Amino acid sequence: MLSAARMEVIKQTVPVLEENGEALTRHFYQRMFRENPEVRGFFNPAHQHAGTQQRALAAAICAYARNIENPAVLAGAVELIAQKHVSLGIKAEHYPIVGENLLASIREVLGEAATDQIIDAWAEAYGMLADLFIQREREIYHSQTKTHGWQGFKRFVVQQREAASDNIVSLYLAPEDGQPLQPHSPGQYVTLRLTPENGVPVMRNYSLSNRPGSARFRISVKRELAGEAGAPDGVCSNYLHDRVKQGDVVELAPPCGEFVLKPVVEAGKPLVLIAGGVGITPILSMLHAALEQQVGREVIFIQCALNGAVRPFEKELAALRGDYPNLSVHVRLSEATAEDRARALHDSEGLLDSVLLDQLIGNRAAEFYLCGPAPMLKHGWRLLKQRAVEDADIHFEFFGPAGDLAA
C-alpha cells in the first residue's frame, strides 16, 4: 500500500500527465521498441500509426493517477487489459521491461519536473499495479487450461473458407490434434498467430462469430485497408484474405475477453443487440447463445451496415429469424444502393437514431450490447443515455485499443 505522502505525490502529477500524456506515451513506445525490440510483436502497428494505442495508454495512466487512493474503481478497466494481455501471452517477466521504459520516459519527457520524489512514487505505484495484473493474469491462464485444455498457442487447421460479405471472410478452424473444443463465452475472442512472408510473426485478436459449443471455431475477418496516405494496410487481415487457404495451419490462443453475454437478471427485460459492420462478430455469437440459453426472451437485433454488399451474415440471420419467433431483426443501411433497394432485403436507411429505437423498443427498459466502429459506438451510447438507460444495462466493445464513449 502506498503511503499517504506518495499518494499525494502521484495526485500532484495528474495535471502534468493530462497535459503531456500523449507525448509521454509516444516516447515510451518508441523507447521500448528501441531498447527491447523483443516486445514489438505484442503490438499492432496500425494502432501505433493511428495513435490510438498511445492515447489509450495515456488515458489509463491518468485514470490510475486520479484514482490512486481507490484503484478498485478501475476494476473493469483492469479486467479488460488483463484479458488482452493473456490473449497475447504477456507474462510476469514482461512487466519490468514496461516499468523501466515508463519511468525512463517520465524522466526524459518531463525533464526537471520529474524529481526523484516523483520517480520514486511512480516506481512504487507501478509495482503495485504490475502485481495486480500479474495475479489476475495468472488466474486467467489457469482458467484457460482448466476450461479449454491449453494455454499459449495451439495449431488449428483451416477446414473451410467462405465469404460473409464482399469485405469479410469467415475461416472455420479445428484443432489439428482432433481434441474437441469446449464452449467459449459468447462475445469472446481468440488470438491468431501467423508468420507472413516477411518472416515476422504477428498476433491479432478476432472475435468468435460461431455459436458457443460448435465443433469448430469461426473467425470472420474484415479486409483492413489503409485509411489515410502513409498508413499501413492491415497486415494480418490482408494475408488471411489473400493467402490463407483451406488445409493451412494457423495458431490460436484460447478464448479471452470480458465483453460477454451475461445471465438474465430481470425477467421480461428485452435483449437488444446492436452491431455495426464487422462488429457483428461477437454480437452474432451472443445472439446464438441468447436464443438457445435464454429461452423465450425477446431479442431485438439491429444490424447497421454501409450497404448490402458489405452487410455480413445475411442468410444466417434470415434463418435465425425464421426459426425463433421471439427474435426480431432490423437491418439499417446508411448508404443503400439501387441494387439494395431493388432486392428489398433491408428494413430502413440512415444512421442509428432515436426514432428507430422508439419504433423497436418503445419506452420499455431493455439491456443493450453494442459493437462496431468507434463513431457508431459513441453515437449509440449517447442515444441510449438520452433514453435514460442505466450504465449497468449498456455493454460495449471497441475493436482496437479501448476509448471513451463520452469523449
Among residues 29, 95, 206, 369, which one is catalytic? Answer: 95
Measured between its terminal Cα atoms, the distance across the chain in Å is 32
User: How is residue 78 annotated by DSSP?
Assistant: H
Residue 91 CB neighbour total at 10 angstroms: 13
- CA 166-169-172 angle, 5° bins: 155
What's 309's DSSP letter? G
pTM (2 decimals)? 0.91
C-alpha cell at 225: 485497408
Predicted confidence (pLDDT) per residue in 125-161, tens digit: 999 999 999 999 999 999 999 999 999 999 999 999 9
- pLDDT of amino acid 48: 77
**Are the beta carbons of 174 and 252 closer than 8 angstroms?**
no
Taking the C-alpha atoms of residue 357 and residue 171, their distance in angstroms, rounded to an integer, is 33
Cα 223 to Cα 242: distance, rounded to the nearest angstrom: 10
Percent of the chain at pLDDT above 70?
Answer: 96
Q: What is the pLDDT of residues 71-100, one digit of tens each?
A: 888 898 899 999 999 999 999 999 999 999
Task: Work out the number of other CB atoms within 10 angstroms of the CB of residue 104.
Answer: 17
For the segment 311-323, what is each residue's pLDDT rounded down to a tens digit? 999 999 999 999 9
- Catalytic: 189? no
Mean pLDDT across 105-134:
94
The residues near 19 (Cβ < 8 Å, ≥ 6 apart) are none
Over residues 49-77, the mean pLDDT reads: 87
pLDDT tens digits for 219-246? 999 999 876 666 667 889 999 999 999 9
Is residue 220 within 8 Å of residue 279, measured between CB atoms?
no
- How many Å apart are CA 290 and CA 298, to the nearest integer? 10
Cell representation of residue 77? 478497466
Phi, psi of 185 (to 5 degrees): -80, 130
Q: What is the mean pLDDT of residues 276-283?
A: 97
**pLDDT tens for residues 166-217?**
999 999 999 999 999 999 999 999 999 998 777 778 899 999 999 999 999 9
How much of the chain exceeds pLDDT 90, in percent? 82
Q: What is the pLDDT of residue 233?
A: 78
Angle at 56 (CA atoms; ends 133, 29), nearest 5 degrees: 80
Residue with cell string 487450461: 145
CATH numbers and ranges of domains, the chain: 4-147 (1.10.490.10), 154-256 (2.40.30.10), 271-398 (3.40.50.80)
| 269: its cell numbers | 427485460
- Is pLDDT at 367 greater than 80 in this prediction? yes
pLDDT of residue 311: 98
Give the chain's radius of gyration (CA, Å).
Answer: 22
Quick one: pLDDT band at residue 403, thresholds 50, 70, 90?
A: low
Q: Which three cell numbers stand for residue 283?
A: 454480437
User: At 15, is the pLDDT very low, low, confident or very high (cuts 50, 70, 90)?
Assistant: very high
Average pLDDT over residues 331-352: 96
How far, in Å, are 151, 186, 290 from residue 143 at the CA level?
Answer: 9, 16, 23
Strand-pairing partners, residue 172, are 160, 218
- pLDDT of res. 253: 97
Alpha-carbon distance of 218 to 207, in angstroms, equals 8
Least confidently predicted of 42-51, 222-231, 260-269, 398-407 = 398-407
The SS3 assignment for 315 reads: helix
Give the pLDDT of residue 402. Answer: 54
CB of 270 closer than 8 Å to CB of 300:
yes
- The candidate with the shortest Cα–Cα distance to 285, out of 397, 179, 157, 389, is 397
Question: Could you tell me the sign of the dihedral formed by the alpha carbons of 70, 72, 76, 82, in that order?
Answer: positive
> Which amino acid is present at 276?
G
- The partner residues of 249 in beta bridges, in order of sequence, read 157
How many residues can be counted in the chain?
407
- When pLDDT is cut at 50, 70 and 90, the band that residue 44 belongs to is confident
Q: Give the residue, 274 or 53, on which the prediction is more confident.
A: 274
Q: Of residues 29, 64, 126, 137, which has the active-site annotation? A: 137
Q: Quick one: pLDDT at residue 55?
A: 85
pLDDT of residue 229: 66
Judged by DSSP in three states, 156 sits in strand
The pLDDT confidence band at residue 397, using thresholds 50, 70 and 90, is confident
Told to judge if 95 belongs to the known catalytic residues of this protein, a careful annotator would answer: yes
Q: Are 194 and 202 in contact (CB under 8 A)?
A: yes
The whole-number pLDDT of residue 231 equals 67
Residue 405 reports pLDDT greater than 70: no
pLDDT of 330 strictly over 70: yes
For the ranges 30-34, 39-43, 51-55, 361-365, the lowest mean pLDDT is seen at: 51-55
Query: What average pLDDT does range 35-52 have in this prediction?
Result: 83
Predicted pLDDT at 41: 84
The Cα 335–Cα 350 span in angstroms is 7
